[in-house]
Amino acid sequence: MEWVSVRMRASLRGRHVSGAERIVRQEDIPSTLCELIKRPKTYDQLHLTVERLKDVEIFRANLKISSYTFEDVNEARDFAVQVLSKSGVSEDLARKAVNLIRSGASPEGWNMRGAVLMDINTGERLEEDPYRGVRTVRVDWLKREEVSRYLTSQGYTLRTVDALAIATKNIFCGVLAELCWSDDPNYVTGYVASSKMGYVRISPLKREGDPLGGRVYFVKKEELRKVVECLERKALLLDL
């Protein structure tokens, strides 16, 4: 059966403002394009990519979701460090990851265009381009509407639907643990994900109005090539 990757990215004055993707059947391309072009509130350029996929694997998503809310950012970040520690990351490296995202992980102290790759044993940064990092793409839910309905009925947001897909693909590809919070100044909930701890939502991982965010993927250096190839190229449809 043939599947197609439909991707949208939009920018304003050279800055990325919105991105989304779907993996759909040929006959659903027009409606998907119509849906995706409505997503960015404002932009001066919008790019659409429609790409036929050769091999798509279907994978059962099995990350348990939990949510924790704290009085302040420092407590929430300490908790994220604990969850990373329980996922096999040393406390030092977990703090290093928090500090990287907090202060902007690109060399200019701003957001990267993708995720940091960090060696889980040494803390060495492994991404080729520290402004770009690596992006998790070619992933979607097999039954997106059903999953969205289910997760929103449980009190989760549509953001969680997308972030859970990324986190699940990351683990599938060999990412051992992930720390994430958004660069959206109005969205302060982030997460730690790992196969042992599941998808742990944590709020507030930053202060309201803070424009910095990012992702750190903990990986084994010796698996780097295989993991990056999987994150960027492998097409994965998630079943719940």
Q: Which residues bind ligand AMP (CB under 6 A)?
A: 111-112, 114-115, 135-137, 166, 182-184, 213-215
Question: Is there a contact between 196 and 61 (Cβ–Cβ < 8 Å)?
Answer: no
Of these, 36, 56, 83, 140, which contacts ligand COA (CB under 6 A)? 140
Of these, 39, 135, 220, 221, which contacts ligand COA (CB under 6 A)? 135
Q: Is 16 near ligand COA (CB under 6 A)?
A: yes
When CB distances are held under 5 to 8 angstroms depending on the partner's kind, the choice from ligand COA, ligand AMP, none that residue 190 binds is none
Decide whether 139 or 235 has the Cβ nearer to ligand COA. Answer: 139
Q: Is 139 near ligand COA (CB under 6 A)?
A: yes
What is the C-alpha separation between 201 and 182, in angstroms, rounded?
Answer: 12
Q: Which residue matches tokens 């060399």? A: 107
Of these, 21, 127, 178, 210, which contacts ligand COA (CB under 6 A)? 21
When CB distances are held under 5 to 8 angstroms depending on the partner's kind, the choice from ligand AMP, ligand COA, none that residue 95 binds is none
Q: Is 178 near ligand COA (CB under 6 A)?
A: no
Of these, 63, 73, 81, 165, which contacts ligand COA (CB under 6 A)? 165
Question: Is there a contact between 201 and 106 (Cβ–Cβ < 8 Å)?
Answer: no
Tokens of 237: 């449809």
Considering the complex, what minimum distance in angstroms separates the CB of residue 137 from ligand AMP?
Answer: 6
Decide whether 139 or 173 has the Cβ nearer to ligand COA. Answer: 139
Contacts of residues 80-86 at CB distance under 8 Å and 24 or more positions apart, as own/partner, are 80/179, 80/190, 80/192, 80/202, 80/205, 83/192, 83/194, 83/197, 83/200, 83/202, 84/177, 84/179, 84/192, 84/194, 84/218, 86/196, 86/197
Task: State the DSSP H helix or E strand holding residue 154, giving kind and residue range, or none if neither.
Answer: none
For 1-10, letters b (16+ CB in 10 Å) and e give: eebbbbbbbb
Q: Which residue is nearest to ligand COA (CB)?
A: 19
Query: DSSP assignment, residue 186?
Result: T
Across-strand partners of 133? none
Residues forming contacts to ligand COA in the complex (CB under 6 A) are 7, 9, 16, 19-21, 47, 49, 113, 132, 135, 137, 139-141, 162, 165-166
